[in-house]
Structure 1
Amino acid sequence: MTKTVQRRWVAVTLHAGLALTVLATIVPYVDRAVLVNHIRAGYPSYTQAELDSAVSTYLVLLSIIGALGVIAWLWTVWAVRTDKRWARPAATVMFVLGTSIGLIALLTKDTSGATGLPPTLGWIGLAPCLVGAVAVMLVWKRPQPE
Structure 2
Amino acid sequence: MTTPKQGPRNRTPLAMMYIGAGLTVIAALFPFIDQSTTTVLADHIKASYPAYQPGAIDTAVAAYLAVLSAIGVMGLLGWLGTIWAVRAGMRWAPWLAAGLLAIATCIAIAALTVQDTSGDVGLAPLLGWLLVLPCVPGLAAVALWRRAV
- For Structure 1 versus Structure 2, the TM-score category normalised by the shorter chain is over 0.9
How far does residue 4 in structure 1 lie from its aligned partner after superposition? 4.0
- Overall identity of the aligned pairs, in %: 40
Cross-structure match for 2:145: 139
Alignment of 1:105-144 (within 5 A): 105-143=111-149
Unaligned runs of 5+ in 2: 1-5
Shift of 1:139: 2.2
Within-5 A mapping of 1:1-146: 4-32=7-35, 33-143=39-149
Q: Which amino acid is 1:55 matched to?
A: V
Q: What's the C-alpha RMSD, in Å, of the aligned pairs? A: 1.2
Q: Tell me the SS of whatever aligns to 2:133.
A: helix
8 A contact 1:6–1:138 mirrored in 2: no
List per-residue Cα deviations over 1:62-83 (Å, max 9, x = no partner).
Answer: 0000000000000000111111
Identify if the C-alpha distance between structure 1 residues 142 and 29 changes in structure 2 by more than 3 Å, giving closer, same or farther: closer
Unaligned runs of 5+ in 1: none
TM-score, normalised by the number of residues in structure 2 = 0.90
For the 8 Å contact 2:12–2:148, the answer to whether it is kept is no
Alignment size in residue pairs: 141
More moved, 90-99 vs 5-14: 5-14
Q: Deviations over 1:2-47 (max 9, x none)?
A: x844312122110000000000001111112000000000001111
Mean CA deviation greater in 64-73 or 131-140? 131-140
Given that 1:14 and 1:131 are in contact with CA atoms closer than 8 Å, whether structure 2 keeps it comes out as yes
Normalised to the residue count of structure 1, the TM-score between the two structures is 0.92
1:8 and 1:140 mapped to 2: Cα distance? 13
Contact 1:91 1:136 in 2 (8 A): yes
Q: How far apart in 1 are the matches of 2:125 and 2:137?
A: 19
